[in-house]
Amino acid sequence: MRFDAEPASLSVQIMAKVLRIGILMLVLAPAVLAGDLFSVPPPAPPTAPAAVSVPEAIEKGVKFLWSQQDPAGNWDTNVDWVGGKHPLATTSMACYALLESGVKPDDPKLKKALDWLEKAVTDPAYRPGGNSTYTLGFRTQAWLLANNTSGNRYENALRRDVERLVASTADGGYDYVCTGTPAPGRDNSNGQFGLYAAWAGKLGHIDIEKKYWEQVLDFWMKRQNPDGGWGYFPPDNASTISMAEAGVASLYVCFDTLYGPTFVPVGVRPPPINASIDRGMDYLDRNFPASLQAANTGYYMYYHLFGIQRASLASGRKRFGGVDWYDAGVRILLPMQKPDGSWGATANGAWRSHWLPGANTGTDQVWTAYALMFLARGQRAFPVVHLKWGEGWDNRPHALPNFYLWLGHELERKFRLEVVSFADPVQDFGDSKILFITGHQDPGFTEAQLDRLRTFVQQGGIIFSVTEGNGEAFRKGIRNTYKELFPWSVLMPMSPDHPIQSIGAKLKGQIPIEIISDGSRVLALHCDYDLTRDWQANQPDTSPLSFQLAENVYLYSEREAKRATTNPSISRPSVLTILGEKQLKAWGSADEPLARVVADTEKQIDGLQGQLQDALRATGPATAKALGQLAKAAAGAGKVAEAMALIDARKALERGESVNMAAIKATGIEDIQRQEMATRAKINEEFAKKFQEVSDQYESAMWGARQLVGQRLQAFLSSDGGRAEAQEVRKVLEALHAEVETAKPGK
């Protein structure tokens, strides 16, 4: 979804006029425009920076690689790169690039290449360069992607390469060739590709000892320069942009592996690695924009773009130094593509690959693979954009990446992380249909920030908020936020038959979730159940509902986006949609009928919300009692550790604290968890009916108040000034109405 500061089809003057007096005409002439006033037509797609689009460039690059494949299934084996011969690297890169570009591992040509590569690994003719660190970095990524969609066909190949890789370092770094015997690390470039291979192993569920990750972390921490960057090879260690990208990406890998489980509770003090990551990110912010200039001959563009992409995918950052890294790379790469679909060197050394060209054409295969990796990986979708709003926004730093890995497996798609802040350009908020807000502290958004959130929703977005760690401050604060954003509506429990409950997994309301709707679509969702705790702990098997609920929200947002695209005339919303905060204030004092309706309803809703929370909290003692009974049984069976865990959980519930029962390994715990969820779902359903009753009363009272206001406006519009205003507004409304009619399908 694109997100623009102004709807593409409305001038600033028209929109200002509509916001100022449009509601007056809506009261008297709903048939003229009704819901179309605040509908935002889908914006135009972004213009390509070159004659072809990114998908077309990828398609041409894929065709070039196929044209270069040898009959045996491989690609060039004779390129003499830095550090000696790497005979299997080109084939490894080509396979990985093709998989990232959407080619399936059962494609006959790719299967032939993977089979060739699997056999060549043990062929003495390709030793020792066949196990070079660069080769292993790409080959393991190819095994990982191929394995994920082929029923673990390449698991043994992945395991073999990862075990060789891990056994080849003495200090967390790497030399050019992995011999299987511990050796000290040489340069940081080999170091990043060695870790890239190990990361593929971790994602492929290959067991790697904690000691290895600690060695790697120590290697990169020690080599960071005072300016926050990294150099290529100490002692000639001046920081470069490509090595800083390698360092940042490597620290993120270590952080996720070593510290991920410690962030399940909220408010955990960040480890020292965080400061190193921040210094590295600051270096990239300072140096990335200048690194894109062709005059900077010290940078190797293909390798550089590969590196900035890794740093972005790890961090979720879309911009470095204010520059959109993917857009910048696309604008560089697309004009450089040759007519045959390949990429290669130019006369300017700045555009060369990190690996120097040899005497043959094989390097074009390398550069094309690099370009395809960049273009294809950057096209991965964002299920949500995560809002960086203040302290506690990222309590669970690996929650979303874990969820995305699970979601990608479920939907057989690839996703990537994106983080936005209020300092970013407005259009970045619209990279996803869902803005994800999490925390345990009161967000306390400013009026300017609320305006940004309000605009996001007006342009078709959905806000999805989650309270973490039983954070009462966030629970109250986010509700205040929604009152400010949508003063005409309130959070209400989602009914069990809402589309989100069944669009994917059948949830049946087992996790309580509240929504705000305008009568035609969901505008905001809030969940007080700590979803990200289960994501951070990576427990899709023991806590499937936490993952399935978010999947359903994503699928719902996709469905709504398709509806908006295929039918620009968005369905007419209820009267609630047009009663924003500014419009309500325009009616005057609290004695005005509309304001009274809102105030009376808010009192009822606040009372019901308090009752709902009290009822949900009341489930705690019953659960605590059941845990005590399990603890007694475990103690009687001699299971001391199990009994102690159950007793600790019971005491925590009695203190009113949140307990992750899915993490307790005890006989019978699943029954208690199911019982608690069923009880909470029943309470939620009962209160949903009560909320609906209040909502119906609200609608009825609102229409009555609206009629009274309409009568007053009749008198205003009969005056000279009112008639002039009405005529001006009618022209605007008629123009908008004609525009909407023209945009409808079939016109």
Statement to judge: residues 168 and 255 lie in one domain: yes
Statement to judge: residues 350 and 390 lie in one domain: no
Contact 131, 181 (CB under 8 A): no
Between the alpha carbon of residue 514 and those of residues 193, 386, 435, 475, 550, the distances in Å are: 45, 19, 16, 12, 13
Task: Give Cα 623 to chain centroid, integer Å.
Answer: 34
Cα 617 to Cα 611: distance, rounded to the nearest angstrom? 10
pLDDT over 60 (residue 142): yes
- Note the pLDDT of residue 235: 65
- Mean pLDDT confidence for 454-479: 92
- Note the pLDDT of residue 590: 44
Provide the domain count of the chain.
2
Statement to judge: residues 140 and 275 lie in one domain: yes
The residue range of the domain holding 339 is 54-378
Statement to judge: residues 364 and 387 lie in one domain: no
- Note the pLDDT of residue 745: 47
- Of 355, 378, 401, which one is at a domain's C-terminal end? 378
pLDDT digits (tens, 9 = 90+) for 292-341: 874 343 337 888 999 999 999 999 999 999 999 999 999 999 998 999 99
**DSSP code per residue over 255-267:** HHHHHGGGGSSTT
Statement to judge: residues 345 and 414 lie in one domain: no
Residue 199 pLDDT level (bands cut at 50, 70, 90): very high
Statement to judge: residues 372 and 504 lie in one domain: no
Buried b or exposed e, range 327-345, using 16+ CB within 10 angstroms: ebbbebbbebbeeebbbbb
- Mean pLDDT confidence for 578-590: 41
Cα 84 to Cα 94: distance, rounded to the nearest angstrom? 20
Cα 460 to Cα 521: distance, rounded to the nearest angstrom? 9
Contact 12, 6 (CB under 8 A): yes
* Percentage above 70 pLDDT, the chain: 75
Residue 98 pLDDT level (bands cut at 50, 70, 90): very high
Residue 504 pLDDT level (bands cut at 50, 70, 90): very high
Q: Return the CATH number at 309.
A: 1.50.10.20
Strand, coil or helix: 538: coil
Contact 383, 407 (CB under 8 A): yes
pLDDT digits (tens, 9 = 90+) for 678-711: 787 788 778 877 877 777 676 666 656 655 554 5
pLDDT over 80 (residue 172): yes
Task: Please count the other Cβ atoms lying within 10 Å of the Cβ belonging to residue 15.
Answer: 15
Q: What is the rounded radius of gyration, in angstroms, for the C-alpha atoms of the chain?
A: 29
- Mean pLDDT confidence for 198-203: 94
**Those residues with Cβ within 8 angstroms of residue 69's Cβ, 6 or more apart along the chain or in another chain:** 75, 94, 109, 113
Cα 728 to Cα 20: distance, rounded to the nearest angstrom? 12
Residue 188 pLDDT level (bands cut at 50, 70, 90): very high
Residue among 374, 453, 383 nearest 93 (CA): 374
- Of 378, 401, 427, which one is at a domain's C-terminal end? 378
Amino acid identity, position 340: D
Residue 138 pLDDT level (bands cut at 50, 70, 90): very high
Residue among 187, 267, 261 nearest 223 (CA): 187
Cα 464 to Cα 476: distance, rounded to the nearest angstrom? 15
For residue 526, tell me if it sits in a domain. yes
- Mean pLDDT confidence for 619-629: 82
- Mean pLDDT confidence for 640-649: 83
Contact 293, 332 (CB under 8 A): no
For residue 627, tell me if it sits in a domain. no
**Those residues with Cβ within 8 angstroms of residue 587's Cβ, 6 or more apart along the chain or in another chain:** 594, 595, 709
Contact 190, 246 (CB under 8 A): no
Strand, coil or helix: 725: helix
Contact 488, 471 (CB under 8 A): no
pLDDT over 90 (residue 386): yes
Statement to judge: residues 286 and 414 lie in one domain: no
Tokens of 282: 């600051």
For residue 742, tell me if it sits in a domain. no
pLDDT over 50 (residue 435): yes
Cα 116 to Cα 110: distance, rounded to the nearest angstrom? 10
Cα 523 to Cα 521: distance, rounded to the nearest angstrom? 6
Contact 382, 416 (CB under 8 A): yes
- Note the pLDDT of residue 275: 92
Statement to judge: residues 520 and 610 lie in one domain: yes
pLDDT digits (tens, 9 = 90+) for 337-363: 999 999 986 534 433 444 443 333 457
Strand, coil or helix: 605: helix
- Mean pLDDT confidence for 715-736: 51
Statement to judge: residues 461 and 575 lie in one domain: yes
Q: Return the CATH number at 577.
A: 3.40.50.12140
Task: Tell me whether residue 446 is exposed, middle or buried, using C-beta atoms within 10 angstroms of its C-beta: 0 to 12, 13 to 18, 19 or more.
Answer: exposed
Contact 162, 142 (CB under 8 A): no
Cα 370 to Cα 354: distance, rounded to the nearest angstrom? 10
pLDDT over 60 (residue 157): yes
Statement to judge: residues 561 and 590 lie in one domain: yes
Between the alpha carbon of residue 577 and those of residues 33, 240, 451, 484, 487, the distances in Å are: 13, 52, 16, 14, 10
Q: Tell me the CB-side half-sphere exposure of residue 574, using CA atoms within 13 A.
A: 18
* Secondary structure string (H, E, C) spanning 156-175: HHHHHHHHHHHCCECCCCCC
For residue 586, tell me if it sits in a domain. yes
For residue 167, tell me if it sits in a domain. yes
- Mean pLDDT confidence for 554-561: 90
Cα 337 to Cα 51: distance, rounded to the nearest angstrom? 11
**Range with the poorest average pLDDT among 58-62, 110-114, 455-459:** 455-459
For residue 704, tell me if it sits in a domain. yes
Cα 40 to Cα 459: distance, rounded to the nearest angstrom? 6
For residue 653, tell me if it sits in a domain. no
Cα 736 to Cα 557: distance, rounded to the nearest angstrom? 27
- Mean pLDDT confidence for 550-572: 71
Task: Give Cα 243 to chain centroid, integer Å.
Answer: 26
Strand, coil or helix: 464: strand
Higher pLDDT, 527 or 568: 527
Contact 280, 248 (CB under 8 A): yes
- Note the pLDDT of residue 286: 95
Residue among 183, 161, 157, 273 nearest 224 (CA): 273
Task: Please count the other Cβ atoms lying within 10 Å of the Cβ belonging to residue 2.
Answer: 14
- Note the pLDDT of residue 357: 37
pLDDT over 50 (residue 746): no
Buried b or exposed e, range 55-93, using 16+ CB within 10 angstroms: eebbebbbebbbebbeeebbbbbebbbebebbbbbbbbb
Residue among 414, 423, 465, 409 nearest 442 (CA): 465
Statement to judge: residues 341 and 423 lie in one domain: no
Cα 287 to Cα 294: distance, rounded to the nearest angstrom? 14
Statement to judge: residues 475 and 346 lie in one domain: no
- Note the pLDDT of residue 150: 86
- Note the pLDDT of residue 612: 78
For residue 340, tell me if it sits in a domain. yes
pLDDT over 80 (residue 49): no
Give the N- to C-terminal CA distance of the chain in Å, as an integer.
24
The chain-wide mean pLDDT, for the chain, equals 79
Tokens of 69: 């494949």
- Of 321, 356, 378, which one is at a domain's C-terminal end? 378
Between the alpha carbon of residue 205 and those of residues 104, 146, 743, the distances in Å are: 21, 14, 50
**Those residues with Cβ within 8 angstroms of residue 378's Cβ, 6 or more apart along the chain or in another chain:** 309, 326, 329, 330
- Note the pLDDT of residue 644: 84
pLDDT digits (tens, 9 = 90+) for 236-275: 689 999 999 999 999 999 998 998 777 777 877 778 888 9
- Note the pLDDT of residue 739: 53
